[in-house]
Structure 1
Amino acid sequence: MRIALNASILRAPRTGIGHYVAELFSALRNLGGIDLELFDGWSWQEGLPSASLPGYSKLSGAVKLLLPNAYQLRRLMQQHRFDRGARRVSPALYHEPSLWPFDFDGPMIMTVHDLAHVHYPQTQPVDRLREIERQVNGGLERASKILVDSQFIASEVVRHYSVSADKVVVAPLGHSRRFYPRSFEQLNVPLAEHAVRPREYLLCIGTVEPRKNLQLVIDGYLALPEALRRQYPLLIAGMPGWRNEQLQGSLQRALASGQVRLLGYLQDNALAELLAGARLLLFPSLYEGFGLPVLEAMASGTPVILSRRAALPEVAGDAGLYIDPEDIHGCASALQNLLEDEAAWQARRTAGLLRAQDFSWARCAQITANTYRELVGS
């Protein structure tokens, strides 16, 4: 069974959808019986690219500034290259992992990870949002099946786009093998690069944008007693997002204190080490279609404080410590609880490790492969 998979997202530094494509590709390969052909936006390949295209983000940004209608022009060129390759490899089915499917003369599957463009349009560049709105409705109509990461997103897709429920398939995500509990000896050297020691810092992961609720992260942390902040610095890992101006004042003040540090984008292994060494992950996001960092933290043996919003309870279950994402003092209280109460911390760690066992990329791939076979009849 030959499947075409759009992997053009892998030209950029890997974030959520990029990790999804890479992990799903590897897990499908392990199942056997599926011949995957990857389209990287320009050419067709049988294997994953080893790394993102150097300077891709800067180059892409420059092109958008210099060329009007850059998204449409790029799409036309990519569609031409996609068509040429599709005629040659002749896939039985095309899988699009984002909201912008190419035209394809055959069955097509889309993966919808979230509806952030609907609920938080202010976090998207205007031209990108316009192109999403132009593409997504037609794509969902053409799709033979729609894969989603959670039951929450399945319900949203059915409700917002009037899609038939039997067209939507829930395929929960998994955690990579690089996320696992590590000894202090394994962590001392890599963590020294950030001037921290194992279990002596807090971690927040996410693009610096409003829906990640970093304002609460900063305010809740700064509401902790001074002694705890001196003992446990807060590290924030993630790329700058859109419309994050309102964060800048408080963020800059927090950074000036030296107790909050902004790390920017981290490579996969560095992030896994940092996550395994954290005292806890603070993830009070307002909206997530799944919440991979939550699962990855639990798999690493790191307790999670998170909001009971969107799909996050589906991932953390009873292992997470939930807070009101608008309650600064509630956030500070939860932080203080897991920093000072060793028994509570250990209980959350144990529950998280157990909960993470319910999720795997092998399971996600099996559900995906079953959907492929249902459509192509083999």
Structure 2
Amino acid sequence: MRIAIDVVAAEYEPGGMLLAARTLLQGLARIDQSNEYIVLTVRPEDYQDLLAFPQMHVQAVRLPSRRGILIQHQLFMPAILKKVKPDMLHTPAFATPLSWRGPLVNTIHDLAFLKVPEQSSWYPRYYHMYVQRAAARRAQRVIAISEQTCEELTTYWSIPTARIRLIHHALRPSLTENPIMKTDIQAMQARYGQRYLLHVGRIMPRKNVERLLEAFHLLAGRLPDLHLVLTGGVGYGSERALQLIETSLYYKRIHLAGWVADEKMGALYAGASALIFPSKHEGQGMPSLEAMACGTPVVASYEAASSEIAGDAVLHADCTNTQSLADAILLILSDHTLRQRLIHLGCQRAQLFHYETCARATVQVYEEAWAEAHSSLSQGATA
């Protein structure tokens, strides 16, 4: 098959969805020489490493501007697809162009816009509610990244269970295959403090960063060497969190690191005393697994690190309560035995999420979608 993987909409906002798509592409490049893959991207320079594999191709997509990219994606991608002529289309984030009528696989990460509507403006909410839902309903197969997402798809969007396949996101190979140098860890600690808490993810209501800032404020006076590092940039609805930072007595110990380069994330994780992940809703919650892979213990909400994903390798806390979150952070900083147990369990847990495993499962989904699409065509011709 000639399979187009459309990452254009995912490139709209760098983050977990785009990282997952790139990790999948790396896995497909290594395990599948039977199919041909065309990566549709507005950033072809980011995928040059894939060209070392003969079955991988990169097709540059030019859009008039970066404004309103979700609508532009619907308007301009049909012409690109007509030029590329794929046998199948996989959209690993957001919706496929609704005019596409060929075999289709659509990955859905979560329906957080329904669970935490204050995290986004009306524009993305309506996009997900109408455009993405329509695309998912037309797909021969929908990939859900967690059991929770599977349930959301059947409950809220009425996607038949028979068309949904559960495939967890995989850890990016840069965290699992490249050794983390001690000097790089020391550089992170020199920059952010010898003892820092780490949060990975855009500042937005769903991520519950406000509660983390309040918990840090409770601890900072007692632990004068403790710092807080926030990565991932600023998203919709971040005003209150930013105000808390600006007015904090400890603002000099709160670091807005923005987007961190992929090659530096391993050292950033490894240098942290703990990852704090208090999110209100997650599809899978990759930062918890990434921290585990780097030997860093995790404090997380039950919503951010479910037992399906994290097992018993994290310290769960009631992250709706500031004091409870602060108590959990203090415990993980002070209890050496607990830290070592979570680090050991986390390293074991992370090994279950290998990118080649994810890629093999995805190829199986492509084959299923192809067979179903052609079966439907045959039945239509017979009728």
User: Match for 2:81: what amino acid?
Assistant: F
2:236 aligned counterpart, secondary structure: coil
Partner of 1:20: 20
Partner of 1:188: 186
CA contact (8 A) 2:4 2:39 kept: yes
The separation in 1 between residues aligned to 2:122 and 2:321, in whole angstroms, is 31
CA contact (8 A) 1:150 1:170 kept: yes
Partner of 1:132: 128
Give the gaps of 5 or more residues in structure 2.
52-61, 375-383
Shifted more, 246-255 versus 154-163: the winner is: 246-255
2:178 paired with 1:179: no
Alignment CA distance shift 1:255-1:211 (3 Å):
farther
The separation in 2 between residues aligned to 1:79 and 1:133, in whole angstroms, is 21
The separation in 1 between residues aligned to 2:84 and 2:316, in whole angstroms, is 48
Give the gaps of 5 or more residues in structure 1.
51-55, 65-69
The separation in 1 between residues aligned to 2:27 and 2:72, in whole angstroms, is 33
> Cα deviation per residue 1:258-278 (whole Å; 9 max; x = unaligned)?
222221121112222111111
Q: Which of these residues, 210, 213, 234, is aligned with residue 205 of structure 2?
A: 210
Partner of 1:67: none
Q: Which of these residues, 350, 370, 374, is aligned with residue 364 of structure 2?
A: 370
User: Match for 1:154: what amino acid?
Assistant: C
Partner of 2:3: 3
The separation in 2 between residues aligned to 1:174 and 1:270, in whole angstroms, is 18
Tell me the C-alpha RMSD between the 2 structures. 2.6
CA contact (8 A) 1:36 1:46 kept: no
> Cα deviation per residue 1:101-155 (whole Å; 9 max; x = unaligned)?
1232321010000112222232223223323323123212210010011111111
> Cα deviation per residue 1:314-343 (whole Å; 9 max; x = unaligned)?
221100100012111111111111111111
CA contact (8 A) 2:29 2:50 kept: no
User: Match for 1:351: what amino acid?
Assistant: L
User: Match for 2:5: what amino acid?
Assistant: L
The separation in 2 between residues aligned to 1:11 and 1:156, in whole angstroms, is 24
Alignment CA distance shift 1:222-1:350 (3 Å):
same
What is the total number of aligned residue pairs between the two structures? 355
CA contact (8 A) 1:203 1:235 kept: yes
Q: Percent identity?
A: 25
The separation in 2 between residues aligned to 1:37 and 1:46, in whole angstroms, is 11
Partner of 1:327: 321
2:226 paired with 1:232: yes
Partner of 2:40: 39
CA contact (8 A) 1:237 1:266 kept: yes
The separation in 1 between residues aligned to 2:358 and 2:81, in whole angstroms, is 26
The separation in 2 between residues aligned to 1:25 and 1:73, in whole angstroms, is 24
Deviation at 1:189, TM superposition (A): 3.0
Partner of 1:53: none
CA contact (8 A) 2:192 2:227 kept: no
The separation in 2 between residues aligned to 1:78 and 1:139, in whole angstroms, is 14
User: Match for 2:357: what amino acid?
Assistant: R
> Cα deviation per residue 1:40-66 (whole Å; 9 max; x = unaligned)?
2599x995689xxxxx9xx62xx35xx
Deviation at 1:170, TM superposition (A): 0.4
CA contact (8 A) 1:151 1:311 kept: no
> Cα deviation per residue 1:294-328 (whole Å; 9 max; x = unaligned)?
11000000010000116633221100100012111
The separation in 1 between residues aligned to 2:27 and 2:73, in whole angstroms, is 30
Alignment CA distance shift 1:246-1:257 (3 Å):
closer
The separation in 1 between residues aligned to 2:335 and 2:138, in whole angstroms, is 53
The separation in 1 between residues aligned to 2:248 and 2:89, in whole angstroms, is 47
User: Match for 1:177: what amino acid?
Assistant: P
Alignment CA distance shift 1:163-1:255 (3 Å):
farther
TM-score (norm 2): 0.85
The separation in 2 between residues aligned to 1:317 and 1:150, in whole angstroms, is 13
Alignment CA distance shift 1:336-1:183 (3 Å):
farther
CA contact (8 A) 1:41 1:78 kept: no
CA contact (8 A) 1:179 1:296 kept: yes
Partner of 1:252: 246
Partner of 2:76: 77
User: Match for 1:157: what amino acid?
Assistant: L
